[in-house]
A = this chain, B = another copy of it.
């Protein structure tokens, strides 16, 4: 289900006192319009945009579904209704579609690169999202075929280097396990030794942070020696992008996580075109 109050907060940001231009000039006018892709990619944000247009009374006809491949010139959505409603929502909708489709497209590309090498590896995002847009950044990652990873600090235990300055791996995992069985426990480690320690302490997942491929390999070997590889899921993270993802993908790991999926993106180019306008009256 779409979170309408979140979407309306985006609109409030773009029109705290209304749309002064459209309210003045096109009040009471009806029109039809289309949202059109200018670039190739994976569509995302169409459900959210449609909900916003509908909230303001416009009729929406979806011609593409989120997650589908789209081509330049393709119509993503057809709209008809009150021109002030359509123009009020326009930019917010395009910003949502543009950012989410940009993320979905980038994710899809990286998933493809990784899976050509290793069909069972996953590509995951991080919490390096744009503040206020976390849920939609994460949804876009899923639409692109990525794993969203934890959504927030409330979701699971991720015991990081900063925690381990204050508590040992053993104690941290033990206390997390004692609190609840319903959350996964992951430990961020920087050395093969700590990786072994975390697995032996009972972590469900380990994150090999900023390890160069050689050290990842050594960690895998240490775990294999102790028959501990299959007890845990292994995530590699830190400084991975298009240029080196394949190097990591070819190792026996489960997940490659990448901040760049959400913190360094290029919006997909989409625009709204008013197609036909009819003179009409509403109060």
A residues with a Cβ closer than 8 A to B are 1, 3, 5, 8-10, 13-26, 29, 31, 33, 47, 50, 56, 62, 65, 83-85, 87-88, 90-92, 94-96, 98-99, 102, 122, 124, 127-136, 142, 147-163, 165-167, 172, 175-176, 179-184, 186, 205, 233, 254-255, 259, 263-267, 272-274, 277, 283
Asked whether A162 lies within 8 Å of B25 as measured between CB atoms, the reply is no
7 A-B contacts, Cβ less than 8 Å apart? Answer: A5-B8, A25-B159, A83-B162, A96-B131, A131-B136, A181-B233, A263-B267
Residues of B within 8 A of A56 (CB): 1
Which among B1, B95, B184, B186 is the interface contact of A131 at CB below 8 angstroms? B95
Asked whether A175 lies within 8 Å of B24 as measured between CB atoms, the reply is yes
* Shortest distance between the CB of A169 and any CB in chain B (Å): 11
Residues of B within 8 A of A156 (CB): 20, 182-183
Highest count of chain B CB atoms <10 Å: which of A29, A62, A131, A134: A131
* Shortest distance between the CB of A158 and any CB in chain B (Å): 6
Residues of B within 8 A of A98 (CB): 128, 263
Closest 5 CB pairs of A and B: A132-B132, A17-B154, A10-B131, A19-B153, A264-B266
* Shortest distance between the CB of A36 and any CB in chain B (Å): 13
Asked whether B14 lies within 8 Å of A127 as measured between CB atoms, the reply is yes
What residue in chain B is nearest A160 (Cβ atoms)?
B21
What residue in chain B is nearest A260 (Cβ atoms)?
B266
* Shortest distance between the CB of A30 and any CB in chain B (Å): 10
Whole-angstrom CA separation of A29 from B163 in the bound complex: 10
* Shortest distance between the CB of A252 and any CB in chain B (Å): 15
Which among B165, B259, B274 is the interface contact of A165 at CB below 8 angstroms? B274
* Shortest distance between the CB of A212 and any CB in chain B (Å): 17
Which among B152, B176, B184 is the interface contact of A15 at CB below 8 angstroms? B152
Whole-angstrom CA separation of A159 from B19 in the bound complex: 11
What residue in chain B is nearest A21 (Cβ atoms)?
B157
Whole-angstrom CA separation of A83 from B163 in the bound complex: 9
Which among B18, B151, B179 is the interface contact of A17 at CB below 8 angstroms? B151
* Shortest distance between the CB of A231 and any CB in chain B (Å): 11
Asked whether A99 lies within 8 Å of B176 as measured between CB atoms, the reply is no
Residues of B within 8 A of A186 (CB): 182
Asked whether A23 lies within 8 Å of B1 as measured between CB atoms, the reply is yes
Residues of B within 8 A of A65 (CB): 283
Asked whether A149 lies within 8 Å of B15 as measured between CB atoms, the reply is no
Residues of B within 8 A of A29 (CB): 166
* Shortest distance between the CB of A263 and any CB in chain B (Å): 4
Whole-angstrom CA separation of A16 from B14 in the bound complex: 11
Which among B132, B176, B283 is the interface contact of A10 at CB below 8 angstroms? B132
Whole-angstrom CA separation of A53 from B273 in the bound complex: 34
